[in-house]
Amino acid sequence: MTDAERHVLEHSTGWLSRQPLYRNHFCASEGHDDWETLQALCARGLMRVGRQPGVLSGEDTIFVMTEAGIAEPGS
């Protein structure tokens, strides 16, 4: 796992916060610095698209972690 992938997974769950797993999402649009990392995590089954771009998400795609992705940061 790359440092960028680990960062995205940790950010998505708040893994390093005082309340790990208090969230499960990462919002980004195509062109975002982490877009390619998010695509790679989806391809590996660690994340998936939870919601397509829309008004409520500020036109961002909302990515959520799968059970496998949630288990990964704590490994």
Tens of pLDDT, residue by residue, the chain (75 residues): 899 999 999 889 888 788 878 889 999 999 999 999 999 999 999 999 987 777 766 778 999 999 998 887 544
CATH architecture of the domain covering 3-71: Orthogonal Bundle (1.10)
Q: What is the pLDDT of residue 75?
A: 44
Domain boundaries, the chain: 3-71
DSSP readout, the chain? --HHHHHHHHHHHTTTSSSTTS---EEE-TTSTTHHHHHHHHHTTSEEEEE-S-GGGTT-EEEEE-HHHHHTTT-
- Retrieve residue 38's tokens: 């998010």
Look up the pTM and report it.
0.83
pLDDT given for residue 17 in this prediction: 80
What local confidence, expressed as pLDDT, does residue 55 receive? 74
